Structure 1
């Protein structure tokens, strides 16, 4: 015989069962709605270019033996730095470009109390054996870590460098607050593989400090090689131009302290380095000496790509890119200071040098381009400079021309050796690369005192059209490729593209170059 159910208890069980059922149905409805909307927003356009991570983009950089970048096989723009510095969602945002142009240096200065001195002994050599640093009347550390590219410190006073420890120490004359900075002495702060230098201002003279084994009577500049050096454009943009700015005011009377030293690199650019410093560079990583100086600059400051902002030059010296190219002409004894003036010599033909790349981003119709330039009134030659060619040999060749023509790439760096007032024609590959092209070459060329002309390749002039077809997003929607990330931009527009110049479309650019020389 079954038990009797009480009315109150039955009503409660019935309500609970229906409440549970309602809750379950509501949950299923919400889940179904979420799935429908999430699927709608997850749908991507057909043939969309997929996005890779920054780690994958890092792997795009091809390193040659010894850690240097192979100039022919690697993508010749500063990929590592851009992947880190610029968001993968948009290459060269106009807002970031404007921020970099308008940025002004902000420095942190830490003074050290005045130190009384007595009887400093002068020397005739730039260095001498010593057990302690020469007394200094001043002491301070000025560090800048807010620039668009680089971190630097200027250290004045009783400064001691310990190469094996990668440290720079300022010993104060009396009690002071202790400070410490970490500086990557390469011009691009996001560059991987570059060891940091520790810059320390001690709290008092009694605090432990490395004892000097050599004291120098000249200042020092401490910088690192490696990174993207080995690529011709980066050699100048990342090292030689900033090194010129940091050291030119000393007239060769300074010491270079080089971390991650590359002997082959110093050999290749020996003429430039020797004019900036009269003394052999110190291999800092293997230097067991404690060297003492009155002034050390730690790191090189890059103002902008392959150029100089005169107002930012140290010591009140308003150096410019025109000063740097003049310095190069003097260094390599280049004979021409100015291009051919058709106004003075109307019967002569100006000379045009076409830079022909061996690999990607090649001209595929060189004979037609040469014929068009000759018909416009130029004497034309083609060059494919080898990566191992002596710089002085390349410099003399380029200096003998009035116009330099080439697709965006390291070869256009040779504009540095043109006479002032000459013309550079940059052919910008298809793919909305104009901002990058102007930043890497357009603005620097103008700063050198040269005439800059730009020719942008149309889709019909790109071999990518034949390779991928007109409906591929690389052709149809370059903006989507830029949104996908820098690695895809580099892969297609820089790494797989050659150009076939439309001669009729290119003719007005040649006419502009000729017209400029008529007014020289």
Structure 2
């Protein structure tokens, strides 16, 4: 029987691979394991191992990131509207609060007139006008929002493009109550996250009513949602061509991301992770904070807590490190303030836009709202429900009439303004009374019970 020749081993390595492997071989030799040399050579010279694995990984990554544009756009309309979108290339989703329209095909945007032209041979010419803001129920607010005209027409000539884009456009407005953190988050940042997150930054923002201070304030968050410079229609009056577009933003509810609403799958947990990434926040869970820290948000105009100086010693006695924040400059610096509040275990404040900063609290933290007369519905709707949905404990300190400055104004406990705030005044007058005309002097001993519960929740979270 002929003796078989030993299999020839071909050792193919680039110089840099050799430099990496040589120290390992030397260590192998020192410990008497030079017999493993053949295994090393066969592994790194194999033509079937690493390249194929790499190809699979690259293929999966590319497929995940670059899903078909038509699929990404159709995720933003309800199931019953997808057939229309596929047939005509255009469909709108209308809800109580918001409206957004989807164009799934080549289109032209003239930023000088804010006209979107969609060529279509499948249906007669039609025109739709919308104001791309998430609060469609507020007529007063919408007066400040520039309208977008969407024109679908039968066009046979090629589109004229001064700029041609390979990604879809998203048109929205930064008008409204910009400067108020509740409205910025509620009506722009959260709806923008809901509408665009699944595009994985491959979208072009066209920002109507462009507000430079808004863009500067939220640049970290905006840069995670788009890779491209935001278009300001006023300073860039030209014709752009896109493969598709979203006009307007999807709104789920106040300070809310609902995983069962379109686009299905996003949650408030996803949004909070997005905020942590945007502002480089340190703490994910309250158990990471060694000493319980409490922030008291101090108001300087309406809804003031008049006896803060009596509350602070009580909080410190319970074991809290207390931070009192009253400077508007600090609160408006969202990067600095988000980091500060993220380091807190408990957040205390009277009803107002500043409580929106509960978004930056770590999971398991406690939000305590001082619930004033006439503001119960707003307190629960705007801050109570959202807090629970984001994994933050919510405690409500409902004041007694004796703690409100309104008792002195109306004279007695059984006055209709105290007992029936909903029926006492017309809406606008009620806002003036309860929002702009009310301060509070906390009953410290009664409030202590709420603080004891807050401390208990923080300590239990660390178990």
The TM-score with structure 2 as length reference comes to 0.77
Which of 156, 159, 162 pairs up with 2:104? 156
Q: Structure 1, residues 437-473: CA drift from partner, whole Å, max 9, x if none? A: 1111111111211111111111110011123321654
2:115 alignment counterpart: 167
CA apart distance, 1:210: 5.8
1:196 is aligned to 2:147: yes
Matched, 1:248 2:197: yes
In the alignment, is the contact (CA less than 8 A) between 2:85 and 2:104 conserved in 1? no
2:165 maps to 1:223: no
Match of 1:413 in 2: 356
State the Cα distance separating 1:308 from its structure 2 match. 1.3
**Root-mean-square deviation over aligned CA pairs:** 2.2
Residue 378 of structure 1: aligned partner: 320
Separation (CA, whole Å) in 2 of partners of 1:301 and 1:214: 27
Q: In 1, are the aligned partners of 2:167 and 2:204 still within 8 Å (CA)?
A: yes
Does residue 180 (structure 1) correspond to residue 123 (structure 2)? The answer is no
Aligned length: 379
Distance in 1, matches of 2:327 and 2:224, equals 24
> Which structure 2 residues correspond to residues 391-470 of structure 1 after superposition, within 5 A?
391-431=334-374, 433-470=375-412
C-alpha contact 2:85 2:91 (8 A) present in aligned 1: no
Mapping for residues 71-470 of structure 1, pairs under 5 Å: 108=81, 111=84, 140-145=89-94, 147-172=95-120, 174-189=121-136, 190=139, 191-202=142-153, 204-206=154-156, 211-314=160-263, 316=264, 318-340=265-287, 349-387=291-329, 389-431=332-374, 433-470=375-412
Q: Which runs of 5+ in 1 are unaligned?
A: 1-103, 115-138
| 1:416 Cα deviation from its structure 2 partner | 1.3
CA distance in 2, matches of 1:161, 1:185: 15
Equivalent residues of 1:221, 1:255 under 8 A apart = yes
Which secondary structure does the structure 2 equivalent of 1:284 belong to? Answer: coil
- Give, in whole Å, the separation in 1 of the partners of 2:96 and 2:91: 17
Taking the aligned partners of 2:242 and 2:212, their CA distance within structure 1 comes to 24
Structure 2 portions without partners, runs of 5+: 1-76
CA apart distance, 1:382: 0.8
1:25 corresponds to = none
Please tell me whether the aligned partners of residues 182 and 197 of structure 1 are also in contact (alpha carbons under 8 angstroms): yes
Q: Given that residues 163 and 287 in structure 1 are in contact (C-alpha distance below 8 angstroms), is that contact kept between their aligned partners in structure 2? A: yes
Task: Indicate how the Cα distance of structure 1 residues 113 and 421 shifts in structure 2: closer, same or farther if over 3 A, else same.
Answer: closer
User: How much has 1:255 moved relative to structure 2?
Assistant: 0.6
CA–CA distance in structure 2, aligned partners of residues 113 and 332 of structure 1? 39
Q: Indicate how the Cα distance of structure 1 residues 176 and 457 shifts in structure 2: closer, same or farther if over 3 A, else same.
A: same
CA distance in 2, matches of 1:326, 1:113: 33
Partner of 1:491: 432
Task: Tell whether the 8 Å contact from 1:425 to 1:454 is kept in structure 2 after alignment.
Answer: yes
Residue 205 of structure 1 and its aligned partner are, at CA, apart by 3.0
Secondary structure at 2:391's aligned position in 1?
A: coil
**CA distance, structure 2, for counterparts of residue 267 and residue 349 of structure 1:** 33
Q: Where has structure 1 moved over 4 Å in runs of 4 or more?
A: 104-114
Q: 1:112 to 1:306 in 2, by over 3 A?
A: closer
- CA offsets 1:300-327 (integer angstroms, 9 cap, x no match): 121111111112242x4x1112211111
Q: Work out the CA distance in 2 between the residues paired with 1:434 and 1:511.
A: 23
Q: Tell me the alpha carbon deviations over residues 321-357 of structure 1, each in whole angstroms, 9 at most, x when there is no partner.
A: 221111111111111111137xxx9xx6411111001
Q: CA deviation at 1:175?
A: 4.5
- Give the drift of 1:227: 1.2
Cα separation, 2, equivalents of 1:331 and 1:149? 27
1:162 and 1:210 in contact (8 A); partners too: no
User: Structure 1 477/245 Cα, relative in aligned 2: closer, same or farther at 3 Å?
Assistant: closer
Post-superposition Cα deviations, 1:337-395, rounded to whole Å, max 9, x if no partner, equal 11137xxx9xx641111100111101101022112222333221211241574211101
Structure of higher RCO (CA pairs closer than 8 Å, 6+ residues apart): 1
Structure with greater proportional helix content = 2
Q: Distance in 2 between matches of 1:257 and 1:436?
A: 32
**C-alpha distance in 1 between matches for 2:418 and 2:218:** 41
User: Secondary structure of the residue that 1:157 maps to in structure 2?
Assistant: coil
> Would the aligned equivalents of 1:107 and 1:144 in 2 still touch at CA under 8 Å?
no
Equivalences for 1:467-478 in 2 at 5 Å? 467-470=409-412, 472-478=415-421
